Structure 1
Amino acid sequence: MKFSKKLASLSIAGAIVLSGCTTINPYTGEQQTSSVAKGSAIGAIGGAVLGAATSNDKGKGALIGALGGAAVGGGIGYYMDVQEAKLRQQLQGSGVSVTRSGNNITLNMPNAITFATNSSTLKPGADKVLSSVVLVVKEYDKTRINILGYTDNTGSASYNKLLSDKRANAVGGYFLSHGTKYARLNEKGMGEANPIASNSTSKGRAENRRVEIVLTPM
Structure 2
Amino acid sequence: MAKSRILMSSVAALSLITVSGCVTDPNTGEKKVSRTAIGGVGGAVLGGLLGGAIGGKTGRIIGAAGGAAAGGYVGYKMDQQIKEIEEDTAGTGVDVSQIPGEDAFLVNLPDVTFATGSYSISPSFQSALDSVAASLVKYPNSIIDVYGHTDTVGSASSNQLLSERRAQAVHDYLIQRGVAASRLRWQGFGETRLRVQTGDGVNEPLNRRVEIKVIPFDEQDVAAAQNAQGN
Partner amino acid, structure 2, of 1:130: L
What residue number does 1:96 align with? 94
Give distance in 2, aligned partners of 1:116 and 1:132: 20
**Unpaired segments of 5 or more residues in structure 2?**
6-72, 218-231
Is 2:82 the partner of 1:84?
yes
Is 2:109 the partner of 1:122?
no
* Structure number having the greater helix percentage: 1
Offset of residue 199 of structure 1: 2.5
Partner amino acid, structure 2, of 1:186: R
Q: Tell me the SS of whatever aligns to 2:77.
A: helix
Offset of residue 26 of structure 1: 7.4
Give distance in 2, aligned partners of 1:116 and 1:155: 15
Offset of residue 76 of structure 1: 9.5
Q: Normalising by structure 2, what TM-score?
A: 0.59
Q: Percent identity?
A: 34
Q: Tell me the SS of whatever aligns to 1:203.
A: coil
Q: Tell me the SS of whatever aligns to 1:125.
A: helix
Partner amino acid, structure 2, of 1:116: A
Q: Normalising by structure 1, what TM-score?
A: 0.63
What residue number does 2:212 align with? 213
Greater relative contact order structure (CA < 8 Å, 6+ sep): 2
What residue number does 1:14 align with? none
Q: Tell me the SS of whatever aligns to 2:135.
A: helix
Is 2:163 the partner of 1:146?
no
Give distance in 2, aligned partners of 1:178 and 1:83: 18
Q: What is the 5 A alignment of 1:1-218?
A: 25=2, 79-101=77-99, 102-112=102-112, 114-218=113-217
For the Cα contact (< 8 Å) 1:164–1:189, is it kept in 2?
A: yes
Residues 191 and 27 of structure 1: CA distance in aligned 2, closer, same or farther (over 3 Å)? closer
Q: Tell me the SS of whatever aligns to 2:140.
A: coil
Larger CA Rg, structure 1 vs 2: 1
What residue number does 2:65 align with? none
Q: How many residues align?
A: 148
